[in-house]
Amino acid sequence: MFPRLHPTPRRWAHSLLSPLNLGAWSPAMEEDKPPVLSKQRCEVVCGVPTQVVCTAFSSHILVVVTQFGKMGTLVALEPSRVAADINRPLITTKVLLGPDEPLIHVFAKNLVSFVSQEAGNRAVLLAMAVKDKSMEGMKALRGVIQTCQVW
């Protein structure tokens, strides 16, 4: 028969299933906060159950606002560094997924431009699927987003 070059199957399986070394160092352990901070809130806005999730990444803030249980239209909001007033830069919007309509751009800017400003002019990625795009609905949604502050 052939000589055995590998450990017995039993020993090999045991080495794979041995407990992990949980005391190992990782860069994320040096900071007190988790690498990705996220908050979620569920409220009724204009009579419609609404979910809001805000997640902070190193360069972007992700805001998900849904009344349908899906992400819907995805809009990128980027602050412009060449604005006349450096304290309040212009915000450029770009629809990445979904209908590219003027109302989407206006609604997105009014809904989350304050997030970018309060987060030190970071870019914001907004996913929204909302029924009511009225001014009252937008103001109520802004309030819910403010309660999920992660920036």
The pLDDT tens digits of the residues spanning 41-61 come to: 999 999 999 999 999 998 999
- What pLDDT is recorded for position 98? 97
Domain range for 120 is 37-147
Judge whether 97 and 73 are in contact, CB under 8 Å. Answer: yes
> Whole-prediction pTM value?
0.74
Residue 120 placed within a domain: yes
Q: In the structure, what pLDDT confidence band is assigned to residue 148 with cuts at 50, 70 and 90? A: very high
Note whether residue 115 is domain-resident: yes
pLDDT digits 0-9 by tens, 12-32: 444 444 444 444 555 555 556
Q: How many domains are there within the chain?
A: 1
Average pLDDT, the chain: 83
Q: Do the Cβ atoms of 100 and 36 come closer than 8 Å?
A: no
